[in-house]
Amino acid sequence: MDISPDMLARAAVSISGSEPANVLLARADATQLPLPSGSVDAVICSAALLYLPVPAALEEWRRILRPGGLVGFSTMQRDNPPSAALFRRLAASYGLPLADPSAPLGSAQRCRQVLRTHGFEVRSIASETVRFQAADVEQAWAVHARMYAADMRALSQADRARLEAEYVHALKEGTLGPSASVDTAAVLYAFGAPGL
């Protein structure tokens, strides 16, 4: 399920040729799924919960899960990826404070809390490191500039160009800060089951 037709088209391409017998792609809002209550065994959300209203999403996912079902989501840890933290740090030097979208779910404690608050028993929370490909790093400016497009309008064209140049230079030089790497990020994987 995805609200974006483009994401569904990408998913269709990624599964084409693999003949999945039990895959159905459908356009839907993750907070209003066209599924009956208690009708699914698992809900998995990969790196997207930070873009959703978390309470509404978790309540909807709890509604559609069968007893004994499982919800799982992944999220970047706070201040990750390091390239995003660098972007926010440099933007702040231009008088543009930007929120960390990973902060609300960015620790094991926060994941536990949000699961419990919305009626889930915590099954496990794991911390892992993921690696980015070179193409991901090359597109980092475009990704962050698009993510914060509304905020970026406050910058003059000259300041935006300087910010971009500083950011791209810092990425190339690997000057992200102590023990930070441009091609890795700390991620959390959280799993819960509907409580009684």
Please give the mean pLDDT across all residues of the chain.
90
Q: With 80 as the cut, is the pLDDT of residue 3 above it? A: yes
**Confidence at residue 22, expressed as pLDDT on a 0 to 100 scale:** 75
Q: With 90 as the cut, is the pLDDT of residue 159 above it? A: yes
Distance, in Å, from the CA atom of 20 to the CA atom of 29, rounded to the nearest integer, reads: 23
Q: With 70 as the cut, is the pLDDT of residue 180 above it? A: no
Find the mean pLDDT for residues 147-163: 95
Q: If DSSP states are collapsed to H, E and C, what string results for the chain?
A: CECCHHHHHHHHHHHCCCCCCCCCCCECECCECCCCCCCEEEEEECCCHHHCCHHHHHHHHHHHEEEEEEEEEEEECCCCCHHHHHHHHHHHHCCCCCCCCCHHHCCHHHHHHHHHHCCEEEEEEEEEEEECCHHHHHCHHHHHHHHCHHHHCCCCHHHHHHHHHHHHHHHHHCCCCCCCCCCEEEEEEEEEEECC
Say how many CA atoms lie within 13 Å of 12 toward its Cβ. 11
CATH number for 31-194: choose from 3.40.50.410, 3.40.1210.10, 3.40.50.150, 3.90.1200.10: 3.40.50.150
**Confidence at residue 32, expressed as pLDDT on a 0 to 100 scale:** 95
Band of residue 194 on the pLDDT scale cut at 50, 70, 90: very high
Find the mean pLDDT for residues 176-189: 77
Burial 51-79 (b: 16+ CB within 10 A, else e): ebebeebbebbbebbeeebbbbbbbbbbb
**Confidence at residue 100, expressed as pLDDT on a 0 to 100 scale:** 94
**pTM attached to this predicted model:** 0.85
**Confidence at residue 10, expressed as pLDDT on a 0 to 100 scale:** 86
**Confidence at residue 67, expressed as pLDDT on a 0 to 100 scale:** 92
pLDDT in tens, 98-133: 999 999 999 999 999 999 999 999 999 999 999 888
pLDDT in tens, 130-144: 988 888 888 999 999
**Confidence at residue 176, expressed as pLDDT on a 0 to 100 scale:** 59
Amino acid present at 76:
M
What is the signed CA dihedral for 19, 49, 54, 56, rounded to 10 degrees? -20
